[in-house]
Structure 1
């Protein structure tokens, strides 16, 4: 007699009960894509037919921004073990939930699109004894707050909490678990913990809607190293196979091409096109930032670097605050060509 397998029920748990101490403000309410971070994540969750959606938030949440059908599937859960971090939120949600397994996500994942979910479910069906499936991204980094967990872990979670062991890693390392390589889409797991990370996420998202992505290299004053940083970045980016255009924002009314100038240095570094933008170049009544952005979108290049003290399009990198060794990787993240800042 053929055994009929019971359909696997999969729910979603969003952990939004953190204190956001490093961010300095409530991450759930951060503006994101015409709404806020939490609402956008819930809207994105429609990409997979979860049986239920549980929101661990520990404070009132107004779901009026959500489609009515989606809002009816979202249920708020309050921690039974307050101030115990993600493990406390998971305990409350698993105790309240009814599904076999749950995809557990932190609220601060601005790019997570749920594309990995079917693959995680397929792996679980092939290895039904698993109790956790943990994605791994660049440099072998575990992503336990974008992972799959069995509801059977509830007793173990409760035991950990009662013993004061709040490390999520200690939980999944002691149970049957699988680790999946997600290096090829590490950006999905980029999380917003600090104001700097929030700005980086906004910059990358803005560039995703542009025909040619743009990054502005800035500095508080002349002589702070903008051109040196730009030339070094162009050289390295060109070496990696990217075609880079360069736009110099200038205060000079008349600019002449000359050896050793900033534009000459950019050209010699490998820029495929070089533009100088001064006050006489943009029409009266047009903001310089808008003109530079329009000019950047006309360049036949993979990306555009703008050098400017204050008139460059967003996103911007202050070269006096940036890590020289990570500048090119940060540029590639902001332009969407690299999956992680790291």
Structure 2
């Protein structure tokens, strides 16, 4: 797997304003780091070609907390346009600077239960099957984390608004391998979410 994984880039979306949280949830303490630091650490263990982080709100504050030499940090000045715009922004940068990729793995900066085992499973499943998307199962729906083959790069670039990759995942349902993820699907949006998850884990 070590050689194969050199053709996968990781794109972490962390541009939101955390309006329901009331403070930057990217920087909320989690174990020995932060929410964003946790997903950075876990994604790094998968040895991707590169890791790109899209920031927006609180960009300068978050950048001061990240080892800049290890990751590519982008600031989407139009982050308020929504998740889809940040996703397109990040994919555009990756394609302009990295050729020959097999796929891009899209992660969110507020899902601390995504671990290296799940990332490894997504990549392994991607290379062992002919379908173009590996996505996380949320019961009757699928979502991110999701790994898209290069066949979808142009469509990812065309995304806008707050739907993120939801449209593509609905449109190309027959080309998706869903992975059951358990607690991986938990994210943190409110102070109550944060306190409950801290007490449980």
**In structure 1, what is the Cα distance between the partners aligned to 2:9 and 2:32?**
26
Q: Which structure is higher in helix share?
A: 2
Q: Which structure is higher in strand share?
A: 2
Aligned length: 189
User: Which residue in 2 is equivalent to 1:134?
Assistant: 135
**In structure 1, what is the Cα distance between the partners aligned to 2:162 and 2:145?**
20
Structure 1 41/121 Cα, relative in aligned 2: closer, same or farther at 3 Å?
A: closer
- Calculate the TM-score normalised by the size of structure 1: 0.50
Are positions 1:62 and 2:100 aligned together?
Answer: no
User: Which residue in 1 is equivalent to 2:80?
Assistant: 83
- Calculate the TM-score normalised by the size of structure 2: 0.80
**In structure 1, what is the Cα distance between the partners aligned to 2:78 and 2:102?**
22
User: Which residue in 2 is equivalent to 1:178?
Assistant: 176
**In structure 2, what is the Cα distance between the partners aligned to 1:14 and 1:100?**
17
**In structure 2, what is the Cα distance between the partners aligned to 1:62 and 1:22?**
22
User: Which residue in 1 is equivalent to 2:30?
Assistant: 32
Contact map agreement 2:91 2:156 (CA 8 A) in 1: no
Structure 2 runs not aligned, ≥5 long: none
Structure 1 17/64 Cα, relative in aligned 2: closer, same or farther at 3 Å?
A: closer
Question: Over alpha carbons, which structure has the higher Rg?
Answer: 1
Secondary structure of 1:21's partner?
coil
User: Which residue in 1 is equivalent to 2:11?
Assistant: 13
**In structure 2, what is the Cα distance between the partners aligned to 1:7 and 1:48?**
11
Structure 1 63/44 Cα, relative in aligned 2: closer, same or farther at 3 Å?
A: farther
Contact map agreement 2:27 2:36 (CA 8 A) in 1: yes
**In structure 1, what is the Cα distance between the partners aligned to 2:44 and 2:164?**
30
**In structure 2, what is the Cα distance between the partners aligned to 1:169 and 1:77?**
22
Structure 1 runs not aligned, ≥5 long: 1-5, 206-342
Q: Superposition RMSD on alpha carbons, in Å? A: 2.5
Are positions 1:150 and 2:149 aligned together?
Answer: yes
Q: CA deviation at 1:179?
A: 3.1
User: Which residue in 2 is equivalent to 1:122?
Assistant: 124
Greater RCO (CA < 8 Å, at least 6 residues apart): 2
**In structure 1, what is the Cα distance between the partners aligned to 2:77 and 2:155?**
15
**In structure 2, what is the Cα distance between the partners aligned to 1:48 and 1:62?**
22
